[in-house]
Structure 1
Amino acid sequence: MGSHRKPNPPSRARMAVLTTAMAGTAALASTVSAHAEPAPSPDAVKARVDALNEEAEASIEKYNGFKEKQQQLRTGADRIQERVADGQTRLNELRTELGVLAGEQYRNGGVDPAVQLMFSSSPDSYLTQASMQGQVATSQTELLKQLQGEQRRLDQDRTEAAASLAQLEVTDAALAAEKKGIQNKLAQAQALLNKLSAADRAKVNAQEAAARASRVSGRSEPAPAYQGPVTGRAAEALKFAYAQLGKPYVWGATGPSGFDCSGLTGAAWKAAGVSLPRVSQAQWNAGRRIARADLQPGDLVYFYADLHHVGIYIGDGKMIHAPRTGKNVEILPIDSMDGPVMGGTRH
């Protein structure tokens, strides 16, 4: 008869080897599974990239607003600081004049009590008491009142300067945060594009080129200059806008080598002698509101509920605009935008 002995259990060393092998197999299966996940399609990547760029453009207009506010605050703070310096100079001159008066009185046998105001911690209180007691001569009274008024103005200017600098600090922080957010969105968009194969990236680029060609009035090249019927300032603004066709969108830029959307419209009307606010929302509030049906060449046309995009209308349902990062100043129908036309302004 054959032996029916039970097999010996595996040794601890053999168990360790088996456990390690099983873990390695599981890890390999997990890796294979991860690699087996389908890559996003070029269409899906393009849609997400477009969405990220649209979000970035909305943030860019906020950034422009913060930057404009920062510049205004910095200019105002500099003016206040100049007033503080001038006030301190005038105050020092008045104190010097009082010092001369005190010296003359000392040489003549004493110091008039009124001159002690120079050393008083409470000029207002002392001046009131001295006036009531008739101890201050007319000339001295005028000098002391000047000193009093100058001190008040200086204190007020210093308070205003401190408040302005504090507000500037808040704006600086908001500007930095908005800039970081824009950079993050653009970096996400670029990272998505980088995940595509060379062939898929070429497909996305071809789709962009085809869409752009179809938007530009069926021509491969836009008209070199405005040839329309309007005259005057609107014609000057349009001539400038046409001259910028093909220049890159650069966020935060107002020219001459690149523009963002409101940077282009502001620069176009500046060329016509009209100064517009920096951001699209402020430009909306600066001109006379125009319904879509009443748009004429030279009017500004706005998109999206928050008005974060603006172009300059050229007629025939088209506009010149600076679209977004990665694109150039172009002509396209206003109905080809993702967001609705909110209306226009005339300047």
Structure 2
Amino acid sequence: MAARRLTALTLTAGAALLLTSTPALAEPKPSLEQVQRQVDDLYEEAEADTEQYNGLNEKQGQLQARAGTLQQEVATQQDQLNRLRETLGAVAAEQYRSNGVDPTLQLMLTADADGYLEGAGLQDVAAETQVETLRRLAAQQRKLDQLRDETAAQLAGLDQARRAAAGKKEEVQAKLAKVQSILNGLKAEDRAKVSAGTAGGGAAASRSSSARMPYSGPATGRVKDILTFAYAQLGKPYVYGAAGPNSFDCSGLTLRAFAAGGISLPRTSQAQFGAGKAIARDQLQPGDLVFYYNDLHHVGIYIGNGQLLHAPRTGKNVEIVPYDVMPYAGAMRY
């Protein structure tokens, strides 16, 4: 019995020793293609957040402008109200002075009976003026109160928009910081491939071009102005929230390019999609805008021959690529 107990203890100790001496299996290291996919996904999420940030910034600017207009109107209405109050006070004071003496005694004491009678007639006019002034004063006060309420609502909305934009900006920065952390953990050669978007083996990325060149195509009029501006931005860096002159995000580039052609577009890609006339894919012409992804968070300018000029993402520059390198969502003409 003692021998069996000793054997069992020996086996248990040996098993424990084997378990403690066996090294833990390491997590498999992701392939470069997997890293590329992770980075690309983060960039896409950051760009989608960027368009939301742009929309919140645009709303903030609109609210700020409206609040400023309302504040000026409140000041104007307050000034008019003060003037009405002064007028009413003057009328009341005049009536007090006129009614302070018995009318018969006033007639007896005055050396100018005609003047007195004229003044008595003016008292009736003054009474009517007082009533009208009171009406105007009450209406002016109501209008001023409404303006103040509207101004307070606009300022509250402005504060909410500011906080929402700041939160969205933090989300963008967090995703970009995560990308940078991933890149920092790669060897220099691999980092360059992932940064260029070529580590996944995609041929489309290798066909992109950001070389600076002037527009020399057949377009005329507004379209030529749009494309001339867009071509002049080739090679400039993508920066989220930027709309030139030294850097752009995707909708910032289209916004400025179309402004060069005399066409005013909204700030975000989603709003730009809603501002144009839908064009079938096989009807694309130079100067049309092409939109990508289900949420329309990316936009570029079709330049003809199956090519797109766009501001791609953080870490890359304004470039020309085949227009089908991203999930196509639709096209618009303006």
Q: TM-score range by the shorter chain?
A: 0.7 to 0.9
1:291 equivalent in alignment to 2:280: yes
1:345 equivalent in alignment to 2:332: yes
Counterpart of 1:155?
Answer: 145
Runs of 4+ in 1 over 6 A off after TM superposition: none
Q: Which has the higher contact order (CA 8 A, sep 6+)?
A: 2
Q: CA deviation at 1:109?
A: 3.6
Equivalent position to 1:196, from 182, 186, 196:
186
RMSD: 2.6
Instruction: Report the Cα distance in structure 2 between the residues aligned to 1:236 and 1:274, rounded to whole angstroms.
Output: 10
Q: CA deviation at 1:73?
A: 0.4
1:336 match: secondary structure: coil
What are the ranges of 5 or more consecutive residues in structure 2 without an aligned counterpart? 1-15, 101-123
Identical-residue share of aligned pairs (%) = 55
1:164 equivalent in alignment to 2:150: no
Letter in 2 for 1:296: Q
Q: Does structure 1 conserve the Cα–Cα contact (< 8 Å) formed by 2:212 and 2:232? A: no
1:50 equivalent in alignment to 2:40: yes
Q: 1:70 to 1:290 in 2, by over 3 A?
A: same
Q: Under a length normalisation based on structure 1, what TM-score does the superposition of the two structures give?
A: 0.78
Counterpart of 2:270?
Answer: 281
Instruction: Report the Cα distance in structure 2 between the residues aligned to 1:289 and 1:269, rounded to whole angstroms.
Output: 17
Q: 1:205 to 1:178 in 2, by over 3 A?
A: closer
Q: 1:68 to 1:243 in 2, by over 3 A?
A: same
Instruction: Report the Cα distance in structure 2 between the residues aligned to 1:206 and 1:64, rounded to whole angstroms.
Output: 25
Letter in 2 for 1:274: I
Worse-superposed segment, 160-169 or 198-207: 198-207
Counterpart of 1:215?
Answer: 207
Counterpart of 1:309?
Answer: 298
Q: Does structure 2 conserve the Cα–Cα contact (< 8 Å) formed by 1:245 and 1:329? A: yes
What are the ranges of 5 or more consecutive residues in structure 1 without an aligned counterpart? 1-21, 111-133
Q: CA deviation at 1:169?
A: 1.8
Q: 1:207 to 1:325 in 2, by over 3 A?
A: closer
Letter in 2 for 1:56: A
Encode CA deviations 1:77-127: one digit per residue, 9 max, x unaligned.
Answer: 1111111111111111111111222222233345xxxxxxxxxxxxxxxxx
Q: Does structure 2 conserve the Cα–Cα contact (< 8 Å) formed by 1:252 and 1:263? A: yes
Q: Does structure 1 conserve the Cα–Cα contact (< 8 Å) formed by 2:301 and 2:309? A: yes
1:335 match: secondary structure: coil
2:264 match: secondary structure: coil
Letter in 1 for 2:194: V
Number of matched residues?
A: 293
